[in-house]
Chains A and B, each alone.
Chain A
Amino acid sequence: MCPPARSDPQLSDSQLSDSQLLAAHRAGDPRAFGELAARHHGRLWAVAVRILHHPEDAADAVQEALVAAYRGAHTYRGDATVRTWLTRILLNCCLDRLRRARGRVELRLDGAPAAHPGLRAGDLATELVTRLSVREALEALPPAQRVAVVLVDVQGWSVAEVAELLEIPAGTVKSRCARARVRLAALLGHLRTEEPG
């Protein structure tokens, strides 16, 4: 249930909770959403830049997400925190961008991760001589795995939080993280596959 807009007009925006700010925005307060954006833009940026890799793309995604949230504030149902709601919108913006950039990759958050078109299976099976940077390695992951491991291992969200955010079972989050970590471990040089006997 969404809380009512501020009941005490003496309260400044900075003293309102996220839900109250969103309610104030829906009620027509012209400054409320700006306050909300100011609170969350850093967190949204952190997620976007680690998923999209390129700063300009990430900045665009954050802007798209904020605008989408601004427009779609009436869709907030109150069944998740505002932070989760905003992050969910951001992730959809990020995945839309990835889909436009790599047409063959399936980007459903609740679907099985698709094979990365740019990384052949043989690349992982051979002994690596070049260690990728973490950023490059993340970029090599399928989007669903990338989202999961960025949120859990980079951003420090709990599995339960990520499951709620992505609206998938916790087991699916764990599985995606597990697969992502195996790929990353190989790409980062921590894990070497067995040489054929």
Chain B
Amino acid sequence: MTARDGAGPPLDVELLARLDAGALDPARAARVRAAAAADPRASAVLAALAATRAELAELPLPPPPPEALRRWLDAVRPPGEEDVSRAGRETAAEPADAPATAPPPAAAAPPPRTDPPPAPRPTGPIPAAAAGPRTHRERPPTGPRLRVRRGRPRSRPSRRPRPGAVPGRVLAAAALLVVLATGLFWPGPGPQRVDGVDLAAAARSAVGSSDLGPLGDPLRRAGCLRAAGVLGLQPDAVPLGGRRVELARGPAVLLVFATGELGVFDVVLVDPDCGPGGGTLLGTARVGH
């Protein structure tokens, strides 16, 4: 590269890169830019740098290892503390250091928490998993994590179907197909894939549970359901319950919604980071009899 920016040095790649990065003073930048515009080779260099920046901007983000999220949150939770940390919050518009907002209207607010007395300042032993990364711990203490038995869905006495209603067996089979198609599995002693999942039992066990993490926030949950594109479900529908679960691909949140039919639920699985800014619908099913 031997073209010159007027009386200045040649337009070498380093100089052009500094121009591209905004590292030149305005006057010099203007001269170099003008000279580069008249030099095909310099223009090609600038185009190459722009292409590089574009490629970097599109670099996909790999997901963390499946156990990582739990490990991270366990590392900063004092031993013996309940698993009430809110997993997977990645707020699209974080409050950062903005002042705390006023509580939402009572009707939409989550139930107030009964805070225990503040714990002593953590100057003593470090929380359980903080001794070092990837400590070979046993599975974390059981908390409200969903574990579902392997096996086929329970058979239930058939009921006379309503006119136009889909038979329960068909619904259960459809639910099973959805589960299998989405690659869900429920952790046992170690990661394993199961051939059948008692999703109905999973849904019933989640009813009344509020272990939703950040999706316990009604506004966030509504934004999540809207962003994830859950068909046939009002974004602001109030779930009957839900809980955080572990899937093959990583953590998820299972939400259970009423269908208006006794014993029949809509189950929705979304990623823990789901929110107004985006979310991944991991699976849906209608379960029950």
Chain A interface residues (CB < 8 Å from chain B) = 3, 6, 8-20, 25-31, 33-35, 37-39, 41-43, 45-46, 49-50, 55-56, 58-64, 66-67, 70-71, 81-83, 134-135, 149, 153-154, 156, 159, 171, 174-175, 177-179, 181-182, 184-185, 188, 190-191, 193-194
With A14-B86, A20-B100, A30-B78 as contacts: A182 and B72 at CB distance below 8 Å: no
Say yes or no: A177 contacts B64, CB within 8 Å. Answer: no
Question: Known contacts A18-B96, A43-B90, A56-B134; is A182 also within 8 Å of B17 by CB?
Answer: yes
Kindly state the separation between the CA atoms of A130 and B255 in the bound complex, as whole angstroms.
48
- Asked whether, in the complex, the Cβ of A26 is within 8 Å of the Cβ of B121, the reply is yes
CB-contact partner of A181 in B53, B69, B73, under 8 A: B53
What does the 1/0 interface line of B79-98 toward A look like (CB < 8 Å)?
00100111111110011111
- Whether the Cβ atoms of A191 and B13 lie closer than 8 Å is yes
Q: Taking each of B53, B61, B89, B97, which has the highest tally of chain A beta carbons within 10 Å of its own beta carbon?
A: B97
A62 contact set on B, CB distance < 8 A: 64, 68, 72
With an 8 A cutoff between CB atoms, is B59 at the interface? yes
Contacts of A188 on B, CB cut-off 8 Å? 51-52, 55
Shortest beta-carbon distance from B274 to chain A in Å: 12
Look across to chain B and name the residue whose beta carbon is closest to the beta carbon of A93. B133
Task: Say how far A34's CB is from chain B's closest CB, in angstroms.
Answer: 3
| Given known A182-B13, A182-B14, A185-B48, contact A38–B73 (CB-CB < 8 A) | yes
CA distance A77 to B270 in the complex (A): 37
Residues of B within 8 A of A67 (CB): 75-76, 126-127, 130
Interface stretch (choices B31-39, B110-118, B148-156, B162-170) = B110-118
Tally inter-chain residue pairs, CB-CB below 8 A: 211
User: A39-B90, A190-B48 in contact; A14/B214 too (CB < 8 A)?
Assistant: yes
Number of interface residues of B (CB under 8 A): 72
CA distance A46 to B110 in the complex (A): 30
Assembly CA distance A26 to B87 (angstroms):
21
| Alpha-carbon separation in the docked complex, A14 to B100 (Å) | 9
Question: Chain B 1-28, CB within 8 Å of chain A: the 1/0 string?
Answer: 1000000000001100110111100000
B59's contact among A10, A13, A154, A191, by CB below 8 Å, is which? A154
**B273 interface hit (Cβ, 8 Å):** yes
Residues of A contacting B140 in the complex (Cβ-Cβ under 8 angstroms): none
Contact B64 A134 (CB under 8 A): no
* Contact residues in A for B213 (Cβ distance below 8 Å): 38
Checking B55, B97, B110 against A134 with a beta-carbon cut-off of 8 angstroms, the contacting residue is B55
A-B residue pairs, 5 tightest by C-beta: A34-B85, A60-B133, A42-B90, A190-B48, A174-B23
A28 touches B119 (CB 8 A): yes
**A30-B119, A179-B17, A181-B21 known; A11+B103 contact, CB < 8 A:** yes
Given A46-B61, A182-B49, check contact A63 B75 (CB 8 Å): yes
A38 & B52 in contact (Cβ 8 Å cutoff): no
Say if the beta carbon of B62 comes within 8 Å of chain A: yes
